[in-house]
Amino acid sequence: MRSEIVKLFAEQPVGTEVTVKGWVRTFRNDQFISVSDGSTIRTLQVVINKENHNESTLKRIQTGTCIAATGRLEKSLGKGQDIELICSQLEILGDCDPNEFPIQMKRHSLEFLREKAHLRFRTNTFGAVFRVRHHLAFAIHKFFNDRGFFYLHSPIITGSDAEGAGEMFRVTNLDLDEIAKTGKVDYSQDFFGKTTNLTVSGQLEAELAALALGKVYTFGPTFRAENSNTSRHLAEFWMIEPEVAFNDIYDNMDLGEACLKFCLKYAMDNCKDDLEFLQEREINEDKQKPVDERQSMPLLERLNMVVNNDFVRITYTEAIDILLQSNHYKKKKFKYPVEWGIDMQSEHERYLVEKHFQKPVIITGYPAAIKAFYMRMNETDASGRKTVAAMDILVPGIGEIIGGSQREERYDVLLEKCKQFNIPEDHIWWYLETRKFGTCPHAGFGMGFERLIMFVTGMTNIRDVIPFPRTPQNAEF
């Protein structure tokens, strides 16, 4: 039976015969093979006696070659390794031509590796990132399951636009060639009998379930047809969206803070080797950057800062006042303007977290004009400003990582909001009906899974935390 390298390092069954299978990282002096099987960032040294293997076999051992090695596990005398395999039997399972294999043991740029997404899993960086991604996905499910939530599969194909932004991918099985010829489109003849799109959010459907099951969450892919080529945007990404009946905005803040802390703690407890590697990688990357672009603190320190601190809670108005009074603003160091009513940019959010409070921050009470139609209206303040019971959770290095709100449960108010946002009633009649049949206060939030992974791994481009990124003009693999 094959032994996984991660278990060999954990259990260290010295003196026993084991078989490992994996991919060659390096082969030194015709004697020492460094093997990775993907179960851990650590490689196992396989020691061979070249007298016991014919020369033609040894020549086939190259970076990327897949091998099976059987032998006795022994304590290693070499530095940086606890154990090694003294090989008695070696089999080559898959050759790898060094003249063609692009992932050699040298530094490759992340841009280059995105073009080789089918092979980039084999690098230390992406092996670490995607192991962390797995553990975070498990942590999400564990957090909500342990708290009595029900996992809801919301639809991928939908007839509604939850955000009201209109940036959706159309779904159709109509003959596009015929449409191009005639210029006529009859959606009544389409598969669903009307226009449909890939979902931008599972929130609205989650609200329907929460108003019967009490506590639900969705965790699935969402799609935005934004023609945006930035380090923070994808056309396809994953979202975590809990909805809870009877919760208000304060309960919602508590839930978001608890969820984020749980996920980070779980990653630190279960991904120690990978996170230490990623921290060292980030430190080395920062050395090549201007001082003002470097991280304010090391990766693990950032994670611990979130886990070990109560989040500061302020209103949007208070946040704007802090920014306006800051030396950063007075010295014109902000790229984007600061005034009440703006949709705060990442630089504003990061200033509040990293410079002013040096703690995670939750901002509430955003201007109604910049938030979605479903957010609950607050009472108009003394200055006549209209705000909603929204909240954003901000963390260092990223800015916003969670966005949510108390939902508008009052039928007449929600109906008026739909009109203001030009959302036809017949598109979301079912959503409006929940406010007529036993409505109640409820709240929820959305956390972009890839943004969470960026924060935990220190990766700075969202395309490097999803296996096969979907971006404008790119749907390879």
90 with 133, same domain: the answer is: no
Of the pLDDT bands very low, low, confident and very high (cuts 50, 70, 90), residue 228 is confident
The residue range of the domain holding 16 is 5-101
pLDDT tens, residue by residue, 2-28: 999 999 999 999 999 999 999 999 999
436 with 352, same domain: the answer is: yes
pLDDT above 90 covers a percentage of the chain that reads: 87
CA-nearest of 122, 109, 132 to 300 is 132
15 domain-assigned: yes
Domain boundary among 48, 69, 101: 101
Domain boundary among 66, 101, 136: 101
Amino acid 412: pLDDT = 96
Please give the C-alpha separations between residue 335 and each of 169, 329, 459, in angstroms, as whole numbers.
32, 9, 23
Domain boundary among 71, 101, 131: 101
117 domain-assigned: no
Amino acid 162: pLDDT = 64
Instruction: Taking residues 364-373, report their average pLDDT.
Output: 95
Of the pLDDT bands very low, low, confident and very high (cuts 50, 70, 90), residue 81 is confident
Instruction: Taking residues 61-68, report their average pLDDT.
Output: 97
87 with 166, same domain: the answer is: no
Amino acid 381: pLDDT = 77
Rounded Cα–Cα distance for residues 291 and 334 (Å)? 16
| pLDDT above 70 (res 151) | yes
142 with 199, same domain: the answer is: yes
What does the chain come to in residues?
477
| pLDDT above 90 (res 318) | yes
326 with 247, same domain: the answer is: yes
Task: List the CATH number of the domain containing 91.
Answer: 2.40.50.140
Count helices and strands (H / E) in the chain: 15, 16
Q: What is the pTM of this model?
A: 0.94
86 with 233, same domain: the answer is: no
Amino acid 164: pLDDT = 59
67 with 182, same domain: the answer is: no
Instruction: Taking residues 390-401, report their average pLDDT.
Output: 94
Instruction: Taking residues 190-195, report their average pLDDT.
Output: 93
CA-nearest of 469, 424, 474 to 129 is 469
**Spatial contact of 33 and 69, defined as CB atoms under 8 Å apart:** yes
Task: Count how many domains the chain has.
Answer: 2
pLDDT above 70 covers a percentage of the chain that reads: 99
Instruction: Taking residues 336-353, report their average pLDDT.
Output: 95
What's at 204, amino acid-wise?
L
Q: Compute φ and ψ for 50, nearest 5 degrees.
A: -65, -15
pLDDT tens, residue by residue, 119-137: 999 999 999 999 999 999 9
Amino acid 165: pLDDT = 57
**Spatial contact of 128 and 444, defined as CB atoms under 8 Å apart:** no
Rounded Cα–Cα distance for residues 248 and 326 (Å)? 32
108 domain-assigned: no
Instruction: Taking residues 304-317, report their average pLDDT.
Output: 97
Average pLDDT, the chain: 94
**Spatial contact of 188 and 194, defined as CB atoms under 8 Å apart:** yes
Rounded Cα–Cα distance for residues 134 and 39 (Å)? 12
Please give the C-alpha separations between residue 358 and each of 158, 199, 327, 349, 451, in angstroms, as whole numbers.
41, 36, 16, 12, 20
Task: List the CATH number of the domain containing 332.
Answer: 3.30.930.10
Rounded Cα–Cα distance for residues 193 and 332 (Å)? 54
Q: Which residue has the tokens 């409070």?
A: 357
387 domain-assigned: yes
51 with 166, same domain: the answer is: no
110 domain-assigned: no
